[in-house]
């Protein structure tokens, strides 16, 4: 485990972007696992800036996102497809057909989950997986539970997650209660994992995740077992 402590959110974003850009430069055909939420926005902005300066080429990169809300299509401003288009995909030269996000509108959710796992396998797995950390220790939308969910699945979101996500919606009742999320197995099979965590409000859960017992009650704690984990934090250690 490598841990970097940044002195500002901007420094955290640049460090994370440096790690991702090195992956893309050294391995142009990389499969990147991407995350949404507030934590990676600065990282995506930095990557887009370096692309505009001619330092990065995303034309051969493939991406698979961690999750999508159930019941939202890609045109919804709160969907994660929309988020990725706004913050990264529309700002670099990535081919949209190489960008993959679970279909939140799928009628057969179980079939969609199988399709997503098969897609990841067909790509040869994930080369570098970017993660944020929820206040309850979730990664992706793998919520605290009695067991680690291995494969892509539909999850009932915990109350703390719903509360945290409500800032993106006009009304609390508009916040989706379910999501389709990549499973722990697919995350842990990534060749490299990059975890970015910012803010003093994440100190306790980050410490439990990195140094506490490995337990599905803190889903991120399983990252302790990954052979190539890099953590970049700001005011969270």
- Catalogue the active-site residues: 67, 136, 138, 143
Residue with structure tokens 């605290």? Answer: 144
Q: 223, 189 in Cβ contact below 8 A?
A: no
Query: How many residues does the structure list for the chain?
Result: 237
CA 114 to chain centre: 19
What DSSP character marks residue 169? S
Cα–Cα distance measured from residue 212 to residue 5, given in angstroms and rounded to the nearest whole number: 19
Name the E strands within 97-213. Answer: 99-100, 128-131, 153-156, 178-181, 192-198
- Residues forming a β-bridge with 227: none
CA 200 to chain centre: 20
76 phi, psi to nearest 5 deg: -70, 135
Which tokens in the block code for residue 22?
A: 């090195």
Reported as type and span, the H/E element at residue 141 is none
- Residues forming a β-bridge with 229: 193
């Amino acid at each position: 485990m490598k841990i970097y402590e940044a002195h500002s959110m901007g420094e955290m974003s640049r460090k994370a972007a440096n790690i991702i850009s090195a992956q893309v430069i050294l391995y142009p055909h990389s499969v990147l696992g991407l995350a949404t939420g507030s934590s990676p926005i600065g990282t995506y902005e930095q990557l887009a800036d370096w692309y505009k300066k001619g330092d990065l080429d995303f034309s051969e990169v493939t991406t698979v996102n961690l999750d999508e809300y159930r019941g939202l299509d890609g045109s919804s401003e709160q969907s994660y497809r929309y988020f990725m288009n706004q913050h990264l995909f529309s700002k670099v030269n990535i081919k949209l057909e190489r960008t993959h996000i679970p279909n939140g509108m799928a009628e057969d959710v179980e079939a969609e989950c199988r399709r997503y796992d098969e897609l990841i396998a067909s790509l040869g797995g994930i080369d570098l997986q970017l993660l944020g950390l929820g206040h309850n220790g979730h990664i992706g939308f793998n919520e605290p539970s009695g067991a680690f969910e291995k494969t892509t699945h539909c999850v009932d979101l915990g109350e703390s997650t719903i509360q945290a996500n409500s800032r993106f919606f006009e009304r609390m009742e508009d916040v989706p209660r379910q999501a389709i999320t990549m499973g722990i197995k697919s995350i842990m099979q990534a060749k490299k994992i990059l975890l970015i965590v910012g803010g003093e409000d994440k100190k306790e859960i980050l410490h439990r995740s990195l140094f506490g017992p490995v337990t599905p009650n803190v889903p991120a704690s399983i990252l302790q077992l990954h052979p190539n984990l890099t953590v970049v934090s700001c005011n969270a250690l």
